[in-house]
């Protein structure tokens, strides 16, 4: 062979491995695995790694067309000019099933991502283990899950469930930081509807069992819900723009855009003066952050609390807030899991935490107690106390009892606590407190209701305000709500060099 | 803009306003309009509605920059029923059996955690049944509205 023949042979291999299954594309109307990568990354930035990997080499008969592709495309590229490693499973090749070499390709880029300190994005669509390869598929899964765990907290990991993900394929996304799903398209389950029916007799549709809505609203497995493939990949790019490349970096800072505020007094009009009235706390947050933009995480799961990424003066912040227009903004089992997971993510990646408090308390009742609200609520306490990033709390309205403690109360190591003049900080609601403190007086009187209401009023006037907490150093300053944005920006500047050392340990034991 | 309002009989009626025909002139053009006075309660209700419309409008403006997000889902889609999201007392029922409800309409107020929690409809439709009454205690998951 002369050199030109060698080059021709190489060209043949290249064509074979970049070929796409056009029939499959036409049938499903989806983007191909390669098109997804190209859409996600900056144009022409993709560099493929391991293109010629094939478990089919034994069947090679001298013609490149006879070689099967491995069902996953792996490589590296840029999003907004910053590095990222990507793999994209190809459902048109043996159902995207995972065999030994399929897993090897994924592990290879995960290793590179860890060594170079760049995030990993997985575009998942796989029927599970490649059964023809026997236990090699399982070993492959083990290798990926192991790397997911080791990379956790070192580089951000994002999973996009582009279609079906069944069996072993669901655990890798579950170990990553964020899971995206597409409405009416994505689905994830350990065992599919056929197996469910066979084993338990229960009949359930794919979407109901493990669709995007199910996992976004009910199970909390997914963090983002997208209407279609391209919108989903746009959302991934947007999320990526908030994140640092690894745990040694600070998040990126962009040119700040001031929030959309028509009227400076707008922020004074949101919280109703009656403590029993509800409002949408997102309106408050939008008036504080750059460009009025919030990237909500777990938007549809436990909507009684909000967790979101946003920017303040161009820099990424993580925000947690009670949402009074859902379940009164109380803390329950799901909300606890949602907050704790978010706080720990922010702490891993040097994202300062801002907490906005308007909490009536933990949700009472047997379903909560029997479901382990103690164990779940403890996760919030653990996560906040453990976090060493700058922590700032703003008490908007109610801050009662254990709920207040959990919502980043001062004693969990919070750096600065602000309160609006509307704040009510107390050990419990005025009526409950008065009925305990003045129990004898109330019971012994002729008109207990009247005494209770008098005592409640007295208690409210004396103790239910931010100034008592301020006098005791639980609150650093009571601020004019209109100053919130500027105060937060200044405080974050001051705290930017924060360093907090913890005793040496292997790792803590968060209640799970 | 010049706006003049003349009562049809040229006088302000002594017994208050009920249903009156007005002659309105805007920029020299004359219109005849019927104006109905409504009870104070209804006025308050309308005000609340206007408030909530404002909220939605602000959200829409802000969200419209990001077309990639799915429309906000206020309530979990529970099919043709609306359940109590938490235990509490039904302190207000704003609709009757047979009423046509629009998506996002306020249908009931549930007092729980010392808060008045607004229940909004996740869908449009005709109300078939309301198994709860004003003042009733409901548990989490109890059915509040059944649609046809």
A318 part of a folded domain: yes
- Predicted local confidence at residue A65, as pLDDT: 65
Contact B67 A231 (CB under 8 A): yes
pLDDT bucket at A14, cuts 50 / 70 / 90:
confident
Residue of chain A whose alpha carbon sits nearest to that of B57? A283
CATH number of the domain at A143, please. 3.90.226.10
Residue located via tokens 């859902």: A326
Contact A213 B115 (CB under 8 A): no
Contact B73 A283 (CB under 8 A): no
Contact B68 A213 (CB under 8 A): no
CA-nearest of A88, A367, A152, A486 to B87 is A367
> At residue A239, what are phi and psi to the nearest 5 degrees?
-55, -45
Of A278, A327, A367, the CB nearest to B116: A278
Could you tell me if A66 and A201 lie in one domain? yes
Could you tell me if A414 and A437 lie in one domain? no
Cβ atoms within 10 Å, residue A491: 20
Q: How far is CA B63 from CA A262, A290, B6, B60, B122, in A?
A: 16, 14, 44, 5, 19
Q: How far is CA A245 from CA A85, A118, A431, B8, B128, in A?
A: 11, 5, 50, 74, 55
- pLDDT of B94 strictly over 50: yes
Percent of chain B scoring above 90 in pLDDT:
18
- Predicted local confidence at residue B30, as pLDDT: 67
Of B65, B68, B113, the CB nearest to A360: B113
Contact B59 A280 (CB under 8 A): yes
A508 part of a folded domain: no
A202 part of a folded domain: yes
A509 part of a folded domain: no
Contact B68 A234 (CB under 8 A): yes
The H-or-E segment that residue A415 falls in is none
Instruction: Give the residue from A326, A328, A335, A402 with the most B CB atoms within 10 Å of its CB, the best one to mutate.
Output: A328
Rounded to the nearest angstrom, the gap between the alpha carbon of residue A452 and the centroid of all alpha carbons in its chain is 45
The H-or-E segment that residue A198 falls in is helix A193-200
Residue A336, token pair as written in the block: 């606890």
The least confident of A86-90, A385-389, A416-420, B98-102 is: B98-102
Q: At what angle do helices A100-116 and A135-151 cross, to 10 degrees?
A: 10
Could you tell me if A326 and A365 lie in one domain? yes
The least confident of A339-343, A476-480, B93-97 is: B93-97
A256 part of a folded domain: no
Could you tell me if A281 and A291 lie in one domain? yes
Contact B55 A280 (CB under 8 A): yes
Residue A338 and residue A375 in contact, taking contact as beta carbons nearer than 8 Å: no
- pLDDT of A333 strictly over 90: yes
- Predicted local confidence at residue B121, as pLDDT: 84
- pLDDT of A461 strictly over 80: yes
Could you tell me if A302 and A192 lie in one domain? no
Contact B68 A275 (CB under 8 A): no
DSSP A461-492: HHHSSHHHHHHTTSSSEE--GGGHHHHHHHHH
Distance CA B72, CA B63 (A): 9
The H-or-E segment that residue A58 falls in is none
Residue located via tokens 């002139």: B25
- pLDDT of A262 strictly over 90: no
Of B67, B73, B87, the CB nearest to A300: B73
- B70 interaction partners in chain A (CB closer than 8 Å): 183, 225-227
- Predicted local confidence at residue A66, as pLDDT: 61
- pLDDT of B3 strictly over 70: no
Distance CA A372, CA A378 (A): 10
Could you tell me if A7 and A44 lie in one domain? yes
Residue of chain A whose alpha carbon sits nearest to that of B68? A231
Could you tell me if A77 and A128 lie in one domain? yes
- Predicted local confidence at residue A427, as pLDDT: 83
Contact B62 A292 (CB under 8 A): yes
pLDDT bucket at B32, cuts 50 / 70 / 90:
low
pLDDT bucket at B77, cuts 50 / 70 / 90:
low
pLDDT bucket at B62, cuts 50 / 70 / 90:
very low
pLDDT, average across residues A73-98: 94
- B69 interaction partners in chain A (CB closer than 8 Å): 231, 235
Contact B62 A325 (CB under 8 A): no
Listed by number, the residues of chain B in 50-109 with a beta carbon closer than 8 Å to a beta carbon of chain A are: 55, 58-59, 61-62, 65-70, 73, 76-77, 85-87
pLDDT in tens, A139-187: 999 999 999 999 999 999 999 999 999 888 899 999 999 999 998 899 9
pLDDT in tens, A232-249: 999 999 999 999 999 999
- B85 interaction partners in chain A (CB closer than 8 Å): 326-327
Could you tell me if A129 and A174 lie in one domain? yes
- Predicted local confidence at residue A61, as pLDDT: 61
Cβ atoms within 10 Å, residue A99: 22
DSSP-assigned beta bridge partners for residue A319: A308, A354
CB pairs under 8 A between A and B: 74
pLDDT in tens, B112-131: 988 898 888 878 889 999 99
Cβ atoms within 10 Å, residue A488: 22
- A282 interaction partners in chain B (CB closer than 8 Å): 59
Residue A314, token pair as written in the block: 């161009």
A163 part of a folded domain: yes
- Predicted local confidence at residue B61, as pLDDT: 30
Residue located via tokens 């609306």: B82
Say if residue B138 is exposed, middle or buried (CB neighbours under 10 Å; 0-12, 13-18, 19+): buried
Among A182-186, A255-259, A320-324, B54-58, top mean pLDDT goes to: A320-324
A252 part of a folded domain: no
The H-or-E segment that residue A399 falls in is strand A391-400
Distance CA B102, CA B122 (A): 9
pLDDT, average across residues B77-95: 85
Q: How far is CA B103 from CA A50, A71, A277, A392, B125, in A?
A: 51, 44, 22, 38, 8
Angle value at C-alpha A71, between A69 and A77, nearest 5 degrees: 100
Residue A114 and residue A58 in contact, taking contact as beta carbons nearer than 8 Å: no
- Predicted local confidence at residue B34, as pLDDT: 59
User: Can you list the positions of beta strands (E) in A194-245?
Assistant: 224-226
DSSP B27-96: TTEEEEEEEE---HHHHHHHHHHHHHHHHHHHHHHHHTT-TTSPPP--S---TTEEE-SSSEEEEEE---
SS3 A103: helix
Could you tell me if A45 and A151 lie in one domain? yes
pLDDT in tens, A290-322: 999 999 999 989 999 999 999 999 999 999 999
Could you tell me if A438 and A411 lie in one domain? no
Residue A435 and residue A405 in contact, taking contact as beta carbons nearer than 8 Å: no
Averaged pLDDT of chain A: 92
- B109 interaction partners in chain A (CB closer than 8 Å): none
Contact B68 A231 (CB under 8 A): yes
Distance CA A388, CA B99 (A): 54
A321 part of a folded domain: yes
Rounded to the nearest angstrom, the gap between the alpha carbon of residue A338 and the centroid of all alpha carbons in its chain is 8
Q: Domain range for residue A434?
A: 428-464
Residue A75, token pair as written in the block: 């490589």
CA distance A474 to chain B (A): 24
Contact B115 A183 (CB under 8 A): no
Contact B24/A at CB under 8 A? no
- pLDDT of B48 strictly over 90: no
Cβ atoms within 10 Å, residue A98: 30
User: Can you list the positions of beta strands (E) in A233-304?
Assistant: 295-297
Could you tell me if A99 and A235 lie in one domain? yes
Split into its structural domains, chain A has a count of 3
Residue A41, token pair as written in the block: 């990354």
Distance CA A218, CA A233 (A): 23
- Predicted local confidence at residue B24, as pLDDT: 64
Contact B85 A326 (CB under 8 A): yes
Of B61, B73, B112, the CB nearest to A328: B112
CA atoms within 13 A on the CB side of A511: 14
Among A215-219, B52-56, B102-106, top mean pLDDT goes to: A215-219
- Predicted local confidence at residue A511, as pLDDT: 95
SS3 A392: strand
pTM for the full model?
Answer: 0.85
DSSP-assigned beta bridge partners for residue A309: A295, A318
DSSP-assigned beta bridge partners for residue B1: none
Could you tell me if A392 and A322 lie in one domain? yes
Contact B114 A367 (CB under 8 A): no
């Amino acid at each position: 062979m002369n050199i030109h023949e060698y080059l021709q042979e190489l060209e043949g291999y290249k064509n074979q491995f970049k070929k796409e299954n056009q029939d499959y594309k036409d049938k499903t109307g989806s983007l191909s695995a390669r098109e997804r990568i190209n859409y996600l990354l900056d144009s022409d930035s993709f560099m493929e790694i391991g293109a010629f990997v094939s478990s089919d080499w034994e069947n090679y008969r001298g013609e490149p067309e006879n070689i099967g592709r491995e069902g996953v495309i792996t490589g590296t590229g840029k999003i907004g000019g910053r590095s990222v490693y990507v793999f994209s499973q190809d459902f048109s090749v043996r159902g995207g099933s995972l065999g030994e070499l399929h897993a090897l390709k994924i592990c290879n880029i995960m290793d590179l991502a860890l060594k170079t300190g760049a995030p990993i994005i997985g575009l998942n669509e796989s029927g599970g283990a490649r059964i023809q390869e026997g236990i090699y598929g399982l070993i492959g899964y083990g290798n990926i899950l192991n790397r997911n765990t080791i990379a956790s907290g070192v580089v951000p990991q994002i999973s996009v469930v582009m279609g079906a993900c069944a069996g072993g394929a669901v655990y890798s996304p579950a170990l990553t930081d964020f899971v995206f799903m597409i409405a009416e398209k994505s689905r994830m389950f350990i065992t599919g509807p056929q197996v469910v029916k066979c084993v338990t007799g229960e009949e359930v549709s794919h979407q109901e069992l493990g669709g995007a809505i199910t996992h976004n609203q009910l199970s909390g497995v997914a963090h983002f819900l997208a209407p279609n493939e391209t919108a989903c990949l746009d959302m991934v790019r947007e999320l990526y723009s908030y994140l640092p490349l690894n745990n040694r970096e600070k998040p990126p800072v962009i040119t700040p855009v001031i929030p959309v505020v028509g009227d400076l007094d707008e922020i004074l009009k949101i919280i109703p003066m009656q403590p029993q009235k509800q409002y949408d706390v997102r309106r408050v947050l939008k008036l504080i952050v750059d460009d009025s933009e919030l990237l909500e995480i777990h938007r549809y799961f436990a909507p009684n609390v909000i967790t979101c990424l946003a920017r303040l003066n161009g820099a990424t912040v993580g925000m947690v807030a009670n949402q009074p227009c859902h379940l009164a903004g109380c803390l329950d089992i799901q909300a606890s899991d949602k907050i704790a997971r978010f706080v720990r993510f922010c702490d891993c990646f040097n994202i300062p935490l801002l907490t906005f408090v308007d909490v009536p308390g933990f949700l009472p009742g047997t379903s909560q107690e029997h479901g382990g609200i103690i164990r779940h609520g403890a996760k919030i306490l653990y996560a906040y106390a453990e976090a060493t990033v700058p922590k700032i709390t703003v008490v908007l309205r109610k801050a009662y009892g254990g709920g207040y403690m959990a919502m980043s109360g001062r004693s969990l190591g919070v750096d600065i606590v602000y309160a609006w003049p509307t704040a009510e900080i107390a050990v419990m609601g005025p009526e409950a407190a008065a009925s305990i403190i003045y129990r004898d007086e109330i019971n012994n009187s002729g008109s207990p209701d009247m005494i209770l209401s008098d005592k409640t009023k007295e208690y409210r006037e004396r103790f239910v305000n931010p100034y008592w907490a301020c006098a005791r150093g639980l609150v650093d300053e009571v601020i004019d709500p209109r100053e919130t944005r500027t105060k937060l920006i200044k405080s974050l500047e001051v705290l930017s060099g924060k360093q907090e050392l913890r005793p040496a340990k292997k790792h803590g034991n968060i209640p799970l | 803009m010049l706006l003049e309002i003349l009562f049809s009989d040229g006088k302000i009626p002594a017994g208050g306003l009920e249903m009156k025909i007005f002659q309105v002139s805007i920029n020299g053009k004359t219109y005849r309009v019927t104006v109905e006075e409504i009870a104070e309660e209804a006025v308050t209700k309308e005000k609340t509605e206007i408030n909530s419309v404002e909220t939605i409008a602000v959200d829409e403006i802000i969200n419209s920059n990001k077309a990639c997000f799915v429309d906000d889902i206020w309530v979990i889609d529970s099919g043709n029923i609306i359940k109590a999201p938490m235990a509490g007392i039904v302190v207000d029922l704003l609709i009757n059996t047979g009423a046509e409800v629009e998506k996002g309409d306020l249908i009931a107020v549930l007092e729980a955690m010392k808060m008045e929690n607004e229940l909004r409809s996740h869908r449009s439709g005709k109300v078939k049944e309301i198994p709860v009454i004003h003042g009733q205690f409901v548990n989490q998951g109890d059915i509040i509205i059944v649609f046809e």
